[in-house]
Amino acid sequence: MIEPLPETPPVPPAHESLFPLRVLARGLSALIVIAVLMSMLGVAALFAPGPLGEGKTVIIARGANAVEIGAQLSQDKAVYLPGLFHIAARLTANGTLKAGEYALPAHASAVEIATMIHEGRSVVRLFTAAEGLTSGEIAQLLNDDPFLTGNIAAIPAEGSLLPETYRYTYGDSRSEIIARMQKAMQEKINEIWANRESGLPLTSAREAVVLASIVEKETGKPEERPRIAGVFYNRLRLNMRLQSDPTVIYALTKGVKSLDRALTHDDLSTPSPFNTYASDGLPPQPICNPGRAALEAAVHPEHNNFLYFVADGSGGHAFAADLATQNQNINRWHQILENAEHP
């Protein structure tokens, strides 16, 4: 008996045979759409405003990498997630980030922060040394600045630092500021000495700085500096002692402390090469660090016939060409002091 052949299974319609592929395609499409959306959301998150409600200063340590910085910024509530900053740093800064102090603006995005740190747009700080400070006083100001690093190996020579305002950033060294001040002073000394008035009774640029330091300590009024320099030159030419009170103070304190009392007659007779009441000519070195105006006055003095001056009660001085007039000015100054003590 012949067995009947099995029936051939019916061929499904074409659209039914492609159904699994269509399901797979639809699934892949959905995944792609989800991936694109997630990618777009990720990119948007990099540029979206950050969580900082107000500006904040952060300090990025030397050697910190993007992961460490991201964790720090997340802890400081500057970015939402550490990984977000890491991605921003790789995209915008290629992972190159600079240490320093940064003032982050409110709602800065991860990309903005990464770009700022990559470019080193750190906070610029100012160190100001007033004219007339001694080198010891300037060194103390530098040591007291918490944003500078390192130690000052030795107190610089008196008169070797140019007092003015210097820009620096967090982590700069104190010795670097000293070096910049010394360079600026040397350049200014070279300039004034090359352009000095002819005929001055000076033998070196150093003597000009010494005289400028005395002028600096004698008056805080810019217009008086050339006049006082003229007085001292008149005295030098006549072989008169300079008789400058600030030199006596320096002889007593050596510039490392202040003299919290008035000078006495005994002070004026204290033997010291710095005491211009007791010694002839200029002191052996500057008594402070003079500023630009005092240095200019030392080489471009006013031409006058004054030999004396004394405080006038207004922050300035009364000048005299003879001792009789000077004594009158002194009496007037004493009267001012007495009236102030017994109004």
Q: Which pLDDT tens digit goes with each residue over 171-216?
A: 899 999 999 999 999 999 999 999 999 999 999 999 999 999 999 9
pTM of the model: 0.80
Best CA proximity match to 110, nearest among 133, 87, 127, 126? 87
DSSP code of residue 173: B
Q: Is the pLDDT of residue 217 over 80?
A: yes
CA 68/CA 83 separation, integer angstroms = 10
Q: Which residue has the tokens 């200063």?
A: 57
Mean pLDDT on 242-259: 90
pLDDT (0 to 100) of residue 99: 92
Buried-state track 200-216, b at ≥16 Cβ within 10 A, e below 16: bebeebbbbbbbbbbbb
| Confidence bin at 15 (pLDDT 50/70/90) | low
Q: Is a pLDDT exceeding 70 seen at residue 297?
A: yes
DSSP 8-state code for residue 149: B
What is the CA 250 to chain-centroid distance, rounded? 27
User: Given pLDDT bands bounded at 50, 70 and 90, which one contains residue 27?
Assistant: very low
- Between 248 and 334, residue with greater pLDDT: 248
Mean pLDDT score, 214-223 = 94
**Per-residue model confidence (pLDDT) at position 262:** 87
Q: Which domains does the chain show, CATH number per domain?
A: 56-119 (3.30.1490.480), 124-185 (no CATH), 305-343 (3.30.160.60)
